[in-house]
Structure 1
Amino acid sequence: MNNGYEIQPRKEAFKEGIAALTGLATSIVSDVLGRTIGAVDILPVNKSPVSVCGNAVTVSVRSGDNLMIHKALQILQPGDVLVVDGGGDISRALFGEIMMTVAKSRGAVGAVLDAAIRDVEAFERHQFPCWARGVNMRGPYKDGPGSINVPIAIGGMVINPGDIILGDCDGIIALPPGLVMEAVRLGREKEAVERKTIQLIHDGKYDDSWVDISLKQKGVL
């Protein structure tokens, strides 16, 4: 680290894990992992349905400043997801159409910011998935400092460089590579259970007796 600046090497993507995790719902993965993971108040800005599964390139910046995000754009590779800890500040946009276009041209598959963005229509027009804490037309400072490929926190969720980012219309979760295949196994099992439950509802055979059993145990009924 030098005067508040730090640039670490990009972590190689766990491609097998990304392929296996792609298509699973964030809600299902969160459920099977104890309902403890997931970013809070980081929501999609796109109007149409969005999904992403890719390799985290992390950035930490001073509130309202995007200098080191520009630097991070230079190291993006195909399949990466740019993840920015902007301290939750939404007084200035840290990311807009020009930066999004650069990221997309380098193969990035999405962006996540605990901060504000602008040029929202461009993200929809170019079908580039983005999750953010807010929207603000005011531009950022470009003075630094900041860090690249270091552990960060987004909406209360810790993300390490090289984690797999899974995002959809419900939000964003991050998984360390060592946990991914177990999450996939458990997630596929839960998917099957949920499909069966929905079919039972359609068939008029859904059993919700567990509700009254639970309430009786609590002395309500």
Structure 2
Amino acid sequence: MAASRDQAQNILFTKQPFVEDVGPRRIKSMQFTVQSASEISKMAEVQVWKGQYYDPNRKPVEDGLLDPRMGPANKFSECATCHGRFSDCPGHYGYLKLALPVYNVGYLSTILDILKCICKSCSRILLDEKLRKDFLKKMRSSKMEPLKKGELMKKIVKKCNSKAVKCSKCGYINGLSSIFAFDAFIISKTVVKENESSIPSDKPPVHFTYVRRNKRQGQKGNSVEGPPNVEE
């Protein structure tokens, strides 16, 4: 313990992110995406599985919401990870392992727009070839402002989801997609009129997808898994 404190005294604490100096390099590609569950757990210092802040002695609960490994809870305490004080420690990640999947509300509208624009059978965009090329050319234009591209995207979504659309590639009839309710997020419906004859023989004439929140999520109780498996 004394050795670790001596090492901590020689560490320069800063809230700036660490950048390794590896010299100039050429960037081949760049990708923006959401971190996976394994990446989040690797970055974290602790798995939080207790819903308490403090114990009866007013100390932060271990594996709780103010676990000392994530940083000092007040200016009188010390970080259990980097041994920094309240003003020096940049803070460290913790993560919750949920018992059931949860929808990310920040991406619901984007997911719905994608569902409105693609065929539910072959995933091709629901535009004929001429319109697809015209919209693609406009979207790739470097002269078009971001706000204009946003308006153009709304036009594409409206064009694809204004009515039942037949896919130009596979012939599948796609209906409207919409958010139904908080616990039944996405409904994708295909409605085919009786007088329509161009229905693929290998596809059902009516397709109804109802994605609903798991009933267990509505029950009372702790929805966070724990304690962590020691063997993992």
Larger radius of gyration: 2
Please state which structure has a larger fraction of its residues in strand. Answer: 1
TM-score normalised according to structure 1 size: 0.23
Q: Which has the higher contact order (CA 8 A, sep 6+)?
A: 1
